[in-house]
Amino acid sequence: MQIKSRLLISKILVILAIALYCGTYLLGPMFAYMDPITDEVEFDEDNLSFQPLPFLVEKGTETRPSPQDIKKYIGPTQFEYFPEGIWGYVIGYHTMPIWRVSLEAPQYPKASYPQGIPVYFTLTDFRGKVVEMNVINHYIGMDPMDIGAFKMRQLAPFLVLIAVLCLIISLFYEGKGWWILTLAPATFPWVYMGTYIYWLYWFGHNLHPYGAFTIKPFMPTVLGTGKVAQFHTYSYPAAGFYFLFIAFLFLVLATLIKRRALKEKSVALI
């Protein structure tokens, strides 16, 4: 009876993890950036950071030439694509914010910018004052954020799908290597963090001479507060990361419980 109970608990934890992963993929509209002054959802139409793989883009979607400084990274054109309806959810347009970065500087007074210049990193794009952040980055010779983890953001919908499928299979599979089906998806938040840290390093160590401010290569703040030139930076997890982290805990616990149950089951059969 204990074996069945443990296997049931393990399955419940996996199902909860699946729900959390689906939540990070679908619940973005619940965490839309609200302008602190108007208290309304702020949408930056000039932000074209959502650039899915071409075959996922609806026919007839307009394109515009890519800026020269990002052309070699994302191609000669950008889709002006802001999908609506169910298809937008399917292809990952509504993913939750995973990380939040904001900048404060004297030219952005608290009265007008109580949250500074915030940008939210999702699984597939950026939200918030993305264009303004790119302008600020330009001042120190930093590339536009659009090129950051470009291929990874395009592949994110498929990575989430594979992770969820692995977890669904793990609910029924008890054969050799069963633990891979739960522990591989559990690495999702750490893969995201590793990718995020790599690109922060890349941006901070590939500065261009066109910047109005000449600064030495640096490592942007990953977690906490920092300072670059006259800008104060703040970098913290957003709601989506906590979803992923809780899913990680559930999956590790589910794996340990199932491992014990299967050991007991094998002993009972002897």
Q: Given the structure tokens 């030439």, which residue do they identify? A: 65
Average pLDDT, integer, range 211-215? 79
pLDDT digits (tens, 9 = 90+) for 8-20: 999 999 999 999 9
CA gap 180, 108 in Å, rounded: 49
- Please, which pLDDT band fits residue 1 given cuts at 50, 70 and 90? low
- The pLDDT value recorded for residue 268 is 73
Q: What is the largest CA-CA distance in the chain?
A: 74
Q: Would you call 109 helix, strand, or coil by DSSP? A: coil
Q: Would you call 87 helix, strand, or coil by DSSP? A: helix
The structure's pTM equals 0.94
Q: Is 188 exposed, middle or buried (0-12, 13-18, 19+ CB in 10 A)?
A: buried
pLDDT digits (tens, 9 = 90+) for 50-82: 999 999 999 999 999 999 889 999 999 999 999
Crossing angle of helices 2-26 and 150-170, rounded to 10°: 150
Question: Does the pLDDT of residue 262 top 80, yes or no?
Answer: yes
- The pLDDT value recorded for residue 270 is 62
pLDDT digits (tens, 9 = 90+) for 8-58: 999 999 999 999 999 999 999 999 998 888 888 888 888 999 999 999 999
